[in-house]
Amino acid sequence: MIFEQIATEGCQSYLVGCEETGVAALIDPEIRQLDHYLGTAARHGLRIRYAIDTHTHADHFSAAAQLARQLNIPVAMHRASRVPFVTLALGDGEMIVVGNLRLQVLHTPGHTADSMCLLVEDRLFTGDTLLIGGTGRTDLPTGDAEALYDSLYNRVLRLDPATKVFPAHDYKGRSRSTIGQELKDNPRLQARDRAAFVEMMHNLNLTMPTHITEALRINLSGGKSVAQLLAEAAATVPFMSLAELKARIERADDDLIVLDVRERDAYEAGHIPGAQLLPRGQLELRVNDALPDPTRRILACCDFGRISTLAAATLRQMGFQRAVALDGGMKAWREAGYPIERGAQSA
Ligand SMILES: [Fe+2]
């Protein structure tokens, strides 16, 4: 078995591949690591054939939908999942065949109703059902402490104690454990009585994960995160540095139109000398009047360099083939001590 564990902050993803046949499955992929997964698979001579989520994640952005689009592969989840882009719905006791490997599904509801663990040889990918020194929480959508008790005590913890545990999360840099070790050391597994376990789970008082709303929205729809939209836009436009722009302004580069895409009040409070105002919200509707010559070089700028990236990408889509974005924004421009002009746009 070819095995790679790829951590993104506290999230753990796993590439599990069959050496003999060169195919692999990716378990709990995270969106920011997409290129890393593809590179790792390529380095091992593996082709990823399945994207698998152990459950609907509320705390990170799943790359499953994107991988499915990009590689034309199925997204596998437990059939209790409400995720519409799942193309391989799995039931308890079923297996995914990855070359000569068998990934066996254990439905383990509790953290979420669609939680499952995957058993591959002596390794158990536990999702958020069993963590190292912890368990998944049960206070997020579809969580159920009673169900988690059953999943743990009647399923997972009955496996061979030597079974290696690979969770979907670890925030302390640990990469693996075993069932035996968790039975012995895991503080959440010391209350072996059902009522005590449920009461403990109900009284954890955990803070909500950051980005929970966006994560659930994306993971339940296959839609794109804000970061993804920005990354996609950034991939389609060239950038110009602050220093290059300053030098061009100083030598009065007539070829360049600096387009400030912020709102009017921000523009009037301070803009790059000679910049033309066209708020992003009005870009498409006013572009024909504001920018009559599509062959000109147009440099979009905003406060932080994000909206301007979207604006430059939109301009390129509309046929302004020399649209570029400022690498940075007005905040960095001001901090660099570069010249600022104030007031309304001169006619
Ligand atoms: Fe989770």
Contact present, 189 and 157 (Cβ < 8 Å)? yes
CA 202 to chain centre: 29
CA 188/CA 251 separation, integer angstroms: 67
Rg, the chain, Cα only: 26
> What is the Å distance from ligand 1's center to 142 Cα?
11
Fold of 229-335: Oxidized Rhodanese; domain 1 (3.40.250)
Q: How remote is the CA of residue 59 from the centroid of ligand 1, in Å?
A: 6
- pLDDT tens-digit readout, 86-132: 999 999 999 999 999 999 999 999 999 999 999 999 999 999 999 99
Dump pLDDT digits (tens) for 47-74. Answer: 999 999 999 999 889 999 999 999 999 9
- The model's pLDDT over 259-288, given as tens digits with 9 standing for 90+, comes to 999 999 999 999 999 999 999 999 999 999
Give yes or no for a contact between 318 and 287, defined as CB atoms under 8 angstroms apart: yes
Q: How confident is the model at residue 46 (pLDDT cuts 50, 70, 90)?
A: very high
Which pTM does this prediction carry? 0.85
Q: What is the pLDDT of residue 261?
A: 98
Bridge-based pairing of strands 116-120 and 123-127 is antiparallel
Residues carrying CATH 3.40.250.10, the chain: 229-335
Distance 55 CA to ligand 1 centre (A): 7
Residues facing 241 on adjacent strands: 327
- DSSP letters along 82-119, please? --TT-SEEE-TT-EEEETTEEEEEEE--SSSTT-EEEE
Give the integer Cα–Cα distance in Å for 268 and 248. 22
Q: What does the block give as tokens for 154?
A: 């009647």
| 186 dihedral zone (left: phi>0; alpha: psi -120 to 50; beta) | beta
What is the rounded CA–CA span in Å between residue 129 and residue 144?
11
Q: Which CATH architecture has domain 2-224?
A: 4-Layer Sandwich (3.60)
Kindly give the distance from the C-alpha atom of residue 107 to the centroid of ligand 1, in angstroms, as a whole number. Answer: 15
Mean pLDDT of 33-53: 98
For residue 88, the model assigns a pLDDT of 98
The answer to whether residues 300 and 322 touch, using CB atoms and an 8 Å cutoff, is no
CA-to-CA separations, 140 to 201, 212, 288, in angstroms, rounded: 12, 9, 48
Angstrom distance (rounded) from CA 56 to CA 147:
16
CA 57 to centroid of ligand 1, rounded, Å: 5
pLDDT digits (tens, 9 = 90+) for 200-218: 999 998 988 888 999 999 9
Distance 119 CA to ligand 1 centre (A): 18
Span(s) in the chain for CATH 3.60.15.10:
2-224
* Cα–Cα distance measured from residue 59 to residue 302, given in angstroms and rounded to the nearest whole number: 30
- Centre of ligand 1 to C-alpha 115, Å, is 8
